Structure 1
């Protein structure tokens, strides 16, 4: 996952209420089991727990900036 820093990836994420969502994020930093990212789906900065990411892959197509 460290290779994803600075990249746009798509994740399947389980939030604290148990809801599963698919998001496109731009990874800014990974530290202490957390990913600091810009969520391109929500258009806002977010922190994601690594343990709650169910799947991920590099984003395809247009890169958002």
Structure 2
């Protein structure tokens, strides 16, 4: 995830309850397998587990939920 630091990316993410979501986030920091990002759909900072990311790509709609 380090290569996405400071960028808005679109994630396909599976949470602990096995719910799948597509989120636009701005990657703030990376520490091990976790990364901190501003989640535009939640409107708040969130901690994500890299192992739960199915796909990631630089967002074409920066900042859109």
> What TM-score does the superposition give when structure 1 sets the normalisation length?
0.91
Q: How many residues align?
A: 63
The answer to whether structure 1 residue 6 and structure 2 residue 42 are counterparts is: no
Post-superposition CA distance 1:11-57 (Å, at most 9, x none):
00000001010000000001121010000111111000000000010
Instruction: Tell me which residue corresponds to 1:40.
Output: 40
Q: Which runs of 5+ in 2 are unaligned?
A: none
- What are the ranges of 5 or more consecutive residues in structure 1 without an aligned counterpart? none
Structure 2 residue aligned with 1:50? 50
Q: CA RMSD in A?
A: 0.9
